[in-house]
Structure formats: C-alpha cells, structure tokens
Amino acid sequence: YTLSRIIRYTLENNQSLNALKESKIKLQEAQKIAHLGNWEYDLKTQKITWSDEVFNIFGLNPNRGEPTYLEWVEMFTLESQQLWDKNLILILEKAESCECEYKIIQPDGRLRYIYTQATLVVDNNSKPIGIFGTVLDITERKKAELAVQELRQKERLLGLILDRIHRSLNLDEILETTVESVRFFLECDRVLIYRFLENGKGIVEKESVAVGSNPILGEIIDDPCFPNTNIIDRYKQGYISIIEDVENPDINKCHVDLLKQFEVKASMVLPILINQEGEKQGSETIAWGLIVAHQCTHKRQWRISDTDLLRRLATQIAIAIQQAQLYHRLEKLNQELEKIAYVDGLTGICNRRHFEEKLDQEWKRLTRDNNSMSIIMVDIDYFKPYNDTYGHQQGDKCLQKVAQTISAVVKRPGDFVARYGGEEFVVLLPNTSIEGALKVAEDIRTQIEALRIPHTASTVSKWVTSSLGVANSRCCTDSNPQILLEAADMALYNAKNAGRNQVYIDDSY
C-alpha cells in the first residue's frame, strides 16, 4: 500500500512537472511571438533575472547569463538612462507602477525601441524586495511611426516650397528656402544648388552649410570628369548619383579628388531639368543644374526617402526656374512696351504722352507742397524749309542732335525733357523760378546754335537756331496745368513773331 502511494505520488508529481515545463515552454513561445519578455530585479542581491525573450530583445545569448544591473543600464542610450533613473525613483520611493518607452543599443550596434512596465514587489511586511517588469519590443511600430512622421515632415517641407513658389516670383528666395529646408530635413552638412555655365563649368548658386563645414557659395567648379563622360546626357535621362563612401574604389578618381577638395565623405546628386524652347526643334529638355547633398563628417547610407525628397524638389525647383524665366521675359517685354509707349522712337527722349502724365504728377505735388514749376517750349526755327532743303534724313539727324543738346543742358534729376511733336520740344522744371528757367532756356538756345548745323534756308542765321517760350506756375491763378502749358506756348509764339532765335517769357511777368 505504501509503495503504491509512493509510486502514484511520484507519477502525479512528474505529471505536474511535465505540465509546468510544458506551460513554461508555451509561455516562452508566446513571449517570443509577441516580442514580450519579463524580468525581475532583486534589491537585496542586485541580481537581474530575465526570461528568454528579454535576452532576444537585448541581443544577448541566454547561455551567457543575465548581465549585471550596471551592464544592463549601460545598454540604454544616455537619454533613456536618465529617464530610467528618474522612473526608478518613482518606483522605489512612491511605490508607483511605471510605464515608459526607452531606446537601447544592442551589442552589434543596432538601435531598438522597448516599452516597459515595472512595479514594486514587497514582502508580507510591505517592505520592498524587488522590481518586476515586462519588456515589449516596439521597434517595428516605432519605425512605422517615425516613417509616418518623416513623411508628414517631408510633405510639410514640400508644401512650404510649393507655397513659396506660388507666392513668390523671386527665384533667389525660393532657392534659399529650398537649401535651408532640405539640409534641416536630411540632417546633412551641406546642401547646394549648382547651375551649369555655358563654358562647361558650373557655379554654386545657393548653399546651406552646417557649422564647422567650409562654405563654397559662389565657387566656380570645373569637374574634370564631365568632358570625358556622358554624365550630362545621363543627367538628362534622370540619372541620380549616390555616393555613400568616397573611398569606394569603383568611383572615378577624378571625381573623388574633386569631392575630397570640398571635404565630402558622401554625396547625393540629382539633376534639375527644365523644358526650353529651341529655335528649330521646339521644346527640349536641358540640364539647368543640380541639387546636391553632402555629408562631410562621415560616410553615409542615403535612404530611399532622401532620394525621393530630392527628386520631388528638383521637379519643383525646375518649375520655379521656368516660372522665373517666364516672368523675366514678360518683364522685359513690358519694359519694351513701356518704352514704345513713353519714349520717342526717333530722338530717344520721352514723348508727349509721357510728358503729359509727368506734368499732371508734378502739378499735384506742387499744389500739395506749395512750390512753383516752370515750363520751356522749344521750337526749331524754319524746320520745314530745312527739311525741304536737306531732306528728311538730315532732318531726323537734326532733331536727334537738338534732343541730345537739350538733355545735356537740363541736368537735374527731377527735370524732364520730351519731344512735344514735330520740331517742338518741352522742358519741365519742378521747383524752379522764372529767373532760373530763363537761364536754362538761354543755355539751350546758345547750345543749339553752337551745334553749327548749316541752314541756308533760314532767314535769321546760317546755322540751325531755336525759339523758346518760358512760363512759371506763379502766373496761373487757375489750378490747371494746361493753363501753364498754354502760357509757355504763347511765349514761344511771341518769340517767333519777334524775329526767332530768342527766348520770351510769359506776359504775366
């Protein structure tokens, strides 16, 4: 009977042990699947006990046993060590359970993210005897979160640059924003915009550089590899140059030497391609330049997201460049149209339309400031007989010389000279008294005569001469610039009636 009980007890005990062992194996498998482990820390012995999955999470071999407490803590990053020390105080002093995320460095150098829950263990007398905790490997989740965060940051960056492109036609401002934002996003040492020059060289157009790295803004760079390779044509096809280590023997030595000159250890280069209207074959794709990222302190493995960002930015930069070029052409066209609208085509000085607008502006200003203004009307004496005698070609040359002479006499920045029509010219003199205007008019008359342009058809001189009429706004009681203009015209009429080649002032004086 006794032996039978012993045998039965032994069998039952073995069954319990087997069940416990099986349960432990299942727990280990469950922890392995869930990347969840548990650990205990004995406050008295300072010993740590880990489940197998904790070893796996920390990248350690279970056969070598658990590390010491200090060895364990040293596997945390510095930031996480400080966070753990802070949380340990809460657990020990306030008996609070603690949940927190930490970053650890495995022995092979890989970064992992863990989530721990820790609680204080006490004895029957409520005295702390240890800490029990769980460890969950959340690396994949954190990577996904960081990827989403990075994507959002990239989209914000692209949105910022797109907004700047849409709101600004200032290409310098757009490129400046681009290089600054890209360097911040990539966390690299240098980002630059490189523009190709017609001589085959290139210039660093814009640059953002980290403290400690040498700036190369404005550098004219002659890449010795370009003439001997078809790299430009490859760039036109969308080629991307990625160098993770300049010491790689597969890289052309000429290119390595150039990169080392600028202390570059790794680089990523993408083309900026724009469509340009050709003279014969219509639109063609040209390589305007490059967007370049440099790592100067160490070699670097560029991510796919880095390349994708630069590719999308290169497209937006190309749009901005073409937009700026279009705006520049439009601005130039507007200037030409304005020149046609406001400049006399023959003499190159302002025309009557421009003068009338200027007269209205100055009249409003003198009315506001209570100043005076003078006008001089100039007429070439016997110009029709001159044309009949010498021909219209010589007549045009005469008008051009007279216009140049009047402009040379009237030197002040605010003064204004225009061709009023035919052989008539007008001079606007803001803030000028009648006496001052009379002196200017006499200088104009003498300088025109001093040109000594032969005029055999004139009855007053053998040279081309002029008659001038002068008026001042003080003579105009009516607030109307046309009254002043008519007064100067009447003075001119009187000068011609009095024998020509002289200056007359308005009768009001």
Domain contains 346: no
Same domain membership, residue 107 and residue 228? no
Domain contains 343: no
Same domain membership, residue 314 and residue 360? no
CA dist., res. 451 & res. 464, Å (int): 8
Same domain membership, residue 111 and residue 246? no
Last residue of a domain, one of 137, 164, 189: 137
- Is pLDDT of 5 > 70? no
Domain contains 377: yes
Domain contains 263: yes
Return the top range by mean pLDDT from 274-288, 324-338, 490-504. 490-504
Phi-psi region at 26: left, alpha or beta (left = phi > 0; alpha = psi -120 to 50): alpha
- Is pLDDT of 26 > 50? no
Domain contains 338: no
Same domain membership, residue 79 and residue 22? no
Same domain membership, residue 222 and residue 204? yes
Q: What is the dihedral of CA 215, 217, 219, 225, to 10 degrees?
A: 80
- Is pLDDT of 8 > 70? no
Poorest-pLDDT segment among 315-319, 396-400, 492-496: 315-319
Domain contains 499: yes
Q: Say what the pLDDT of residue 280 is.
A: 56
Q: Say what the pLDDT of residue 1 is.
A: 44
- Is pLDDT of 226 > 80? no
Q: What are phi and psi of 297, to 5 degrees?
A: -95, -25
Same domain membership, residue 93 and residue 110? yes
Domain contains 158: yes
Return the top range by mean pLDDT from 25-29, 44-48, 220-224. 44-48
Cβ neighbours for 380, distance < 8 A, ≥ 6 positions apart: 386, 398, 399, 402, 423, 448, 464, 465, 466
User: What range defines the domain where residue 177 resides?
Assistant: 145-330
Same domain membership, residue 323 and residue 385? no
Task: Count up the domains in the chain and report the number.
Answer: 4
CA dist., res. 404 & res. 349, Å (int): 8
Same domain membership, residue 254 and residue 379? no
Last residue of a domain, one of 107, 137, 167: 137
Same domain membership, residue 458 and residue 394? yes
pLDDT single digits (tens) 157-173: 778 777 876 777 788 88
Domain contains 453: yes
Instruction: Note the residue count of the chain.
Output: 509
Same domain membership, residue 306 and residue 168? yes
Same domain membership, residue 314 and residue 172? yes
Same domain membership, residue 187 and residue 132? no
DSSP H or E run through 241? strand 241-243
Q: What is the mean pLDDT of residues 371-386?
A: 95
| 60 closest CA partner among 77, 37, 27 | 37
Give, in order, the Cα–Cα distances in Å from 110 to each of 56, 59, 77, 105, 193.
Answer: 13, 9, 12, 6, 34
